Amino acid sequence: MAYKFIHVGHIGHACTVRIDNPPVNALHPDVADEIMTAAKAAESDPNVRSLVLTGTGRCFVAGGDIRYFTSLNRVAAEEMALRVQAMQEVLFRLRMPVIAALNGHALGGGCELMMACDIPIAEEQAMIGLTEVRLGLIPGAGGTRMLARLVPLATAKRLLFTGDRITAQEAKNIGLIDQVVPTGESMAAALALAESINAAGPLAVAAAKQSAIAGLDHSLDEGHRREAALFSALFDTADHKEGIEAFLARRTPNFQGK
């Protein structure tokens, strides 16, 4: 498929999606639609075991498209927010891990997009924040809910209420970022992580992600039940048999996703 705002590639078992909407990769809903289309294509490709999302230039995504905002009324604004939410829900529920390689600033909608991914890696110069209150708005694509789930509640409220930007290192210190790397190295770090993930059993990785999400969505007891069901179902897979045989033979397993 030909895309206007993103570039899609494949490196081994990793699908790479690079946002390219100059000058700051603003998250227009058309950009969100293309990300969702690429994510769904990766979902249906059995060769893809991880997805890396990054940006072009000095920003990952510097926020929503403010010029586009000026054309919106209340109804259109809600429709826009729901379109972006739908894309982020696809990323969040994708069977494979999604790694966000923050090549630069992740502000407003960029921070929301980052939080919809499984593992964010940020370059040291990146600034991160939900800045919407500085525009007389609040995050509209799940930011208030996601931030409060990822960091201590008082910290989430402080960031939401002030619209402050924080450094990548500060974001790591509060648990919002998993890893900080030198400028220019986010993609290499993300691909190295993807390679490690891709070496594991893809059905097991997908089940681990599904179980982790279930733990967020349900009670402790229900989360445990779902984990047990996902765990036991893997005993019927060829990958489990291959993993055990490889372990006992002291060789590298050759997982096929079956």
Active-site residue set: 112, 132
81: Cβ–Cβ under 8 A, 6 or more apart, which residues?
A: 140, 141
Q: Which two tokens stand for residue 220?
A: 């402790």
- Beta carbons of 47 and 13 less than 8 angstroms apart: yes
- Residue 235 phi/psi, 5° resolution? -70, -15
Cα–Cα distance between 118 and 209 in angstroms, integer? 9
Q: Which two tokens stand for residue 205?
A: 């990785």
Cα–Cα distance between 253 and 147 in angstroms, integer? 38
Closest CA to 130 of 63, 78, 53: 63
- Bridge-based pairing state of the strands 127-129 and 166-167: antiparallel
CA distances for 39 relative to 75, 88, 226, angstroms: 27, 10, 25
Closest CA to 98 of 86, 88, 84, 108: 88
Closest CA to 47 of 17, 90, 10, 18: 10
- Beta carbons of 114 and 60 less than 8 angstroms apart: yes
